[in-house]
């Protein structure tokens, strides 16, 4: 039985270290038994709604498959098809959704929408990515790190690139689990103050190092884990040219940059990747890359999360 203190997940900050460990350990069991899904009825009779303002491949597929494999049902709601698109308030939408289904995953532009949904829904709300956070991705990332490294404490993770939604939650998640972080982020693209504050506090508490540097080589030197993401997140397309000239070539993860990491280092990327931009194909397809386990683990760890939130 996984018990979670909060009945929503807006950011990885909402989970304690123990809760994260429990979710991952249940997910590892589920992954080990992945051939035996057909009789699992843990969430029989439960329905998960997925309300998406933005496109998705992995988040939608993994949540829908997770519910199916746990005996439950899903309803996909493109937010353009809802009365929300004609001006119905988030509050009224949240109250309505709560009348019919047992849980909501929302992928939104503004993180405030997640907060408002969570405040007004009577059911658990899961952030499936907002402009600020991507907690489900970070659960899968931490699970992948644990699978490959068998521990968290004392590892060194290098983040290369934009201080975006994935970066924000990853920094918080690493600090919580005792992973040291060196983030190479260009000036003006750092995570927001509120994130830096939480990461700094959590790192102090756990006795880990957290530094932001400008030089990718400095971050990657002796790293156990190297992570990047697109520097043009959904909604930032208009800044494409400006961002390209800031991030390429300096912040591109290529073979040369990876050669500074430890011999047994792993490379991670939440996907979708823009090959030839933030990462080169030799790295993402190379022998240090664990991106396909990382993507698969979304399914297992979200099953674990859904069980934690819904099997009461």
Residues tagged active-site: 107, 134, 137, 229, 270, 298
Work out whether 168 is an interface residue with ligand NVA (CB under 6 A). Answer: no
Q: Do 138 and 174 touch, CB atoms closer than 8 A? A: no
Looking at 33-134, list the stretches that DSSP marks H as alpha helix, in order from N- to C-terminal side. 58-69, 90-100, 111-120
Binding mask 114-133 toward ligand CP (x if CB under 6 A, else -) reads: ---------------x----
Work out whether 233 is an interface residue with ligand NVA (CB under 6 A). Answer: yes
Position of tokens 């001006």?
87
Work out whether 253 is an interface residue with ligand CP (CB under 6 A). Answer: no
Position of tokens 């009779």?
45
Residue from 119, 32, 101 nearest 310 by CA = 101
Work out whether 291 is an interface residue with ligand NVA (CB under 6 A). Answer: no
Distance between CA atoms of residues 143 and 27, nearest Å:
8
Q: Do 69 and 43 touch, CB atoms closer than 8 A? A: no
In the complex, least distance from residue 211 CB atom to ligand CP, rounded to whole angstroms: 26
In the complex, least distance from residue 271 CB atom to ligand CP, rounded to whole angstroms: 5
In the complex, least distance from residue 271 CB atom to ligand NVA, rounded to whole angstroms: 7
Quick one: 156 or 291, whose CB is closer to ligand CP? 291
In the complex, least distance from residue 167 CB atom to ligand CP, rounded to whole angstroms: 13
Q: How many CB atoms lie within 10 A of CB 250?
A: 15
Q: Encoding tokens for residue 305?
A: 């999360």
Cis peptide, bond prior to residue 196, ω within 30 of zero: no
Work out whether 62 is an interface residue with ligand NVA (CB under 6 A). Answer: no
Report the chain's terminal Cα–Cα distance, integer Å: 9
Candidate ranges 144-152, 158-166, 201-209, 215-223; the one touching ligand NVA (CB under 6 A): 158-166
Work out whether 270 is an interface residue with ligand CP (CB under 6 A). Answer: yes
Work out whether 69 is an interface residue with ligand NVA (CB under 6 A). Answer: no
Work out whether 58 is an interface residue with ligand CP (CB under 6 A). Answer: yes
Work out whether 270 is an interface residue with ligand NVA (CB under 6 A). Answer: yes
In the complex, least distance from residue 211 CB atom to ligand NVA, rounded to whole angstroms: 22
Q: Which does 82 bind (CB under 5 to 8 A by kind): ligand CP, ligand NVA, none?
A: none
Q: Distances from the Cα of 48 to the Cαs of 44, 45, 105, in angstroms?
A: 11, 10, 7
Looking only at residues 135 through 154 of this chain, which bind ligand CP when binding is defined by CB under 6 A? 137
Looking at 45-164, list the stretches that DSSP marks H as alpha helix, in order from N- to C-terminal side. 58-69, 90-100, 111-120, 135-149
Q: Encoding tokens for residue 268?
A: 């991670």
List interacting residues with ligand NVA (CB under 6 A): 129, 164-166, 229-230, 233-234, 270
């Amino acid at each position: 039985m996984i018990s979670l203190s909060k009945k929503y997940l807006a950011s990885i900050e909402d989970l304690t270290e123990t809760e994260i460990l429990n979710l991952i350990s249940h997910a590892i069991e589920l992954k080990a038994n992945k051939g035996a899904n057909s009789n699992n009825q843990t969430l029989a009779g439960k329905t998960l709604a997925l309300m998406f303002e933005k496109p998705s491949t992995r988040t939608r597929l993994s949540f829908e498959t997770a519910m199916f494999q746990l005996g439950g049902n899903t309803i996909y709601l493109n937010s353009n098809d809802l009365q929300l698109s004609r001006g119905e308030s988030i509050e009224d939408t949240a109250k309505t959704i709560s009348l019919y289904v047992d849980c909501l995953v929302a992928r939104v532009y503004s993180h405030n929408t997640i907060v408002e949904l969570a405040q007004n829904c009577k059911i658990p709300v899961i952030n499936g990515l907002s402009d600020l956070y991507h907690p489900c991705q970070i659960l899968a990332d931490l699970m992948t790190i644990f699978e490959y490294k068998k521990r968290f404490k004392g590892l060194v993770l290098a983040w290369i690139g934009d201080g975006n939604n994935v970066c924000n939650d990853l920094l918080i998640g690493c600090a919580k689990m005792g992973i040291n972080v060196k983030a190479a982020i260009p000036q003006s693209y750092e995570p927001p103050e509120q994130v830096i504050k939480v990461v700094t506090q959590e790192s102090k508490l756990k006795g880990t190092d957290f530094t932001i540097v400008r030089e990718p080589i400095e971050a990657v030197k002796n790293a156990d884990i190297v992570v990047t993401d697109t520097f043009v997140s959904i909604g930032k397309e208009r800044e494409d040219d400006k961002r390209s000239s800031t991030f390429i070539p300096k912040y591109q993860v290529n073979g040369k940059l990876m050669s500074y990491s430890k011999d047994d280092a792993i490379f991670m990327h939440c996907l979708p990747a823009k090959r030839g931009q933030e990462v080169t194909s030799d790295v993402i397809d190379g022998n240090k890359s664990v991106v396909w386990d990382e993507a698969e683990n979304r399914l297992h760890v979200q099953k674990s999360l859904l069980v934690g939130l819904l099997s009461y």
